[in-house]
């Protein structure tokens, strides 16, 4: 990857300098990757990785367009998987969900 300049470099340095964000992102990516590769908890893994993917796409769309192709490819792969597992998300898309809790 070529050296970044301007706002893209400032943003990445802020993430690195925070001391935890990049480690958290990497742990999220590794856990999600393992779940996707093993086929375990795939719907959960897709939900878990969504904020990371949204930030990757936004970063390359607005700050570093030279890497946008790979970001959009990743988004396409994610969208295909979400579509394939769409039945698992029906409960998340109910307007007024039922609660089994007794009060």
pTM above 0.85, yes or no: no
Full pLDDT tens readout for the chain, 103 residues:
556 678 888 888 887 888 788 788 889 999 999 999 999 999 999 999 999 999 999 999 998 888 899 999 999 999 999 999 999 998 887 888 777 776 5
DSSP H helix total and E strand total for the chain: 4, 0
- DSSP conformation letters of 12-30: HHHHHHHSSHHHHHHHHHH
- DSSP conformation letters of 3-69: PP-HHHHHHHHHHHHHSSHHHHHHHHHHHHHHHHHHTSSHHHHHHHHHHHHHHHHHHHHHT-GGGHH
């Amino acid at each position: 990857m070529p050296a970044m300049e301007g706002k893209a470099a400032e943003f990445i340095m802020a993430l690195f300098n925070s001391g935890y964000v990049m480690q958290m992102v990497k742990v999220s990516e590794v856990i999600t990757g393992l779940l996707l590769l093993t086929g375990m908890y795939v719907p959960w893994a897709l939900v878990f990785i969504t904020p990371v993917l949204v930030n990757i796409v936004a970063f390359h769309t607005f700050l570093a367009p030279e890497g946008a192709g790979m970001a959009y490819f990743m988004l396409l792969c994610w969208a295909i998987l979400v579509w394939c597992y769409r039945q698992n998300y029906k409960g998340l898309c109910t307007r007024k969900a039922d609660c089994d809790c007794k009060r």
